[in-house]
Amino acid sequence: MARPPAGPTGARPEPFTITFDGRPVPALPGQTLAAALWAAGILAWRTTRVGGRPRGAFCGIGQCHDCLATVNGVPNRRACLVPARPGDALTTQEGHGHDRSGS
């Protein structure tokens, strides 16, 4: 991950870790979950109900719902709107509201 630019005080934000399907993903303060996933090269984190087609961020403003993910065990969270927090755990959501663990 590229080092973030210094802020107005010259301090650089410290990266932290979230997980996606059990894999560590670096994130920065102020990033959404979708932005952190994209920065890590992860472009899809949901499959459609019919056909199982991959989906990720599309509109980036919470209108299309393509970016739904299961976040900390809660399904149907719009990853493009949820700020990343240290320790967040995302899992691929299948269709509407189920992660791959079957919950």
State pLDDT tens for residues 29-75: 999 999 999 999 998 888 888 888 878 877 777 778 788 899 999 99
What local confidence, expressed as pLDDT, does residue 94 receive? Answer: 81
Whether 8 maps to a domain, the answer reads: no
- Give whichever of 5-9, 14-18, 42-46, 54-58 has the largest mean pLDDT: 14-18
Q: What is the mean pLDDT of the chain?
A: 84
74 inside domain: yes
Residue 10 lies in a domain: no
Establish if 101 belongs to a structural domain.
Answer: no
Q: Is residue 72 part of a domain?
A: yes
pLDDT at 103: 46
- Count of structural domains, the chain: 1
CB 78 within 8 A of CB 46: no
